[in-house]
Amino acid sequence: MVVVVGGVGGGGGVGRVHFAGMPMVANRRGVVVKNRGNMTKSGMDGPRAVSTSPMIDLFLDTGMLDQVEQACNEAVKNHIDVLTHVYQAGSEELKAASSRAEALGRPLTRGLPDDHVGAIRVIQIGTENNEIDNNMCCGTHVTNLSQLQMIKLLYSEKSKKKGKSLVYFLVGDRVNQYISQCFSRERELTGVLNGGPEYHAELAEKALKHSKQDQQTTQNLLKEIASLKVTELKANKPKFYSVHRQESDMDFCNVLLFEMAEEAITIFITMGNDKDGPCSLVLQSNEESAINELGKKIMDMLGAKGGGKGRRLNGKFVSLSKRNDVDNLIKQYFVTNTLENLGI
């Protein structure tokens, strides 16, 4: 299952496009001159990505992909037979078949090793009077192109391999399945975006823009709230400040910790909702014992994992059930300046 675009030949400027083994001959203007090739059953398992040579980009730019799809579906509608021939290497039958192929400008055994011995399997699409193509192939094939039902080329993109592109396609019942899925999503989006399919992209872009604006506004407000709290803490100079933020407000947290970094105030912040996932904690203090002793006790009580160095400790934990106990621990620590006999 390969889409191959042959190099443009000299003089006439003709390139060959193979879709799933069904080549199309086209000139530089993207005009279909002739189609030929074989189609395998594996093409019915879409969507598939098939590789192409660089020329496919030229054809896609000129609408060639649509023309290839139309020509392939025309061949499918014409219910053309697919025949299998097995020749022995060097046999008169193979020589005769190769001569017919050469006359049509498509070498039958191109790429076959010179030292090959044994059988050679050739797939022929169409009769001799209306032959589309014949190629060597050992894969599984339909016996008639009508069995493919229909072909839909979806889109193309550049491959990671240099000089290659990828074409995504569907064949057979998967086309109908894909259309049904697209229609279901389309109806859902119509309800969510409150607008018809022709406006989905515009409405989604507008909603995303508003969301980013709201997010920026929220961040600015959180920074302002943190700045107000910093002013309050610097004025009152408590020994410690403990707070839990239901949302993971990193903007609030960062401003508060940065502005209080040089103050003799221990800051303990937890963030998150244990119903939605792991919570976070930060302990910042200029007191080494608060980090080493109090911090270790807090981590143990919350079942947190993490670490830190210097004046800050970070961790993650899954349950807020001991959050109030931690507040009591911190209060008693700064009253007694010890963790002994706290009873927690």
* Helices 323-336, 295-302: crossing angle, 10 deg rounding: 160
What are the tens digits of pLDDT across the range 323-339? Answer: 999 999 999 888 876 66
Domain range for 304: 230-336
Q: What are the two backbone dihedrals, phi and then psi, of residue 79, each rounded to the nearest 5 degrees?
A: 35, 65
Residue 120 near residue 136, CB atoms below 8 Å: yes
HSE toward the beta carbon, residue 230, CA cutoff 13 A:
18
**Is the domain of 172 the same as that of 297?**
no
The model carries a pTM of 0.58
User: 118 and 62, same structural domain?
Assistant: yes
Residue 15 structure tokens: 């390139």
Query: CATH number of the domain that 292 lies in?
Result: 3.10.310.40
Give the pLDDT confidence of 247-287 residue by residue, as tens digits. 767 888 889 999 998 899 999 999 988 787 889 999 999 88
For residues 234 and 293, state if they share a domain. Answer: yes
Among 142, 164, 192, where does a domain finish?
Answer: 192
CATH of the domain at 85: 3.30.980.10
pLDDT band at 116 (very low <50, low <70, confident <90, very high): confident
Domain boundary among 163, 192, 221: 192
Q: What is the mean pLDDT of residues 161-179?
A: 86
Which residues make beta-bridge pairs with 151?
A: 171
Helix (H, G, I), strand (E, B) or coil at 166: strand
Rounded-to-10 torsion of CA 315, 320, 326, 328: 160
- The answer, yes or no, to whether the previous bond of 197 is cis (omega within 30 of 0) is no
- Residue 185 shares a structural domain with residue 267: no
pLDDT digits (tens, 9 = 90+) for 9-27: 222 322 333 343 443 333 2
Interior/surface letters 10-47, b for 16+ CB within 10 angstroms, e for the rest: eeeebbbbbbbbbbbbbeeebeeeebbbbbbbebbebe
Q: Is residue 157 part of a domain?
A: yes
200 Cβ contact list (under 8 Å, min separation 6)? 186, 189, 190, 193
First to last CA, the chain: 68
Residue 44 pLDDT greater than 50, yes or no:
no
Residue 147: predicted pLDDT? 93
Residue 111: is its pLDDT beyond 70? yes
Extract the tokens encoding 323: 């959050």
Same domain? 162 vs 13: yes
Asked whether residue 147 is assigned to any structural domain, the reply reads: yes
Confidence (pLDDT) at 340: 58
**Do residues 39 and 148 touch, judged by C-beta distance below 8 A?**
yes
The pLDDT of residue 151 is above 70: yes
Pick the closest to residue 22 from 135, 100, 170 (CA basis). 135
Calpha distance 82→124 (Å, rounded) = 6
* Whether residues 268 and 149 fall in one domain: no
Tally the domains of the chain.
Answer: 2
**302 CB-side CA count, 13 A:** 29
Q: Which helix (H) or strand (E) holds 133?
A: strand 133-136
- Residues 37, 167, single domain; the answer is yes
342 lies in some domain: no
On whether both 59 and 161 belong to a single domain, the answer is yes
In this predicted structure, what is the pLDDT of residue 187? Answer: 96
Assess whether 236 and 143 both reside in one domain.
no
Tell whether the model's pLDDT for residue 304 goes beyond 70.
yes
- Mean pLDDT calculated for residue range 61-68: 73
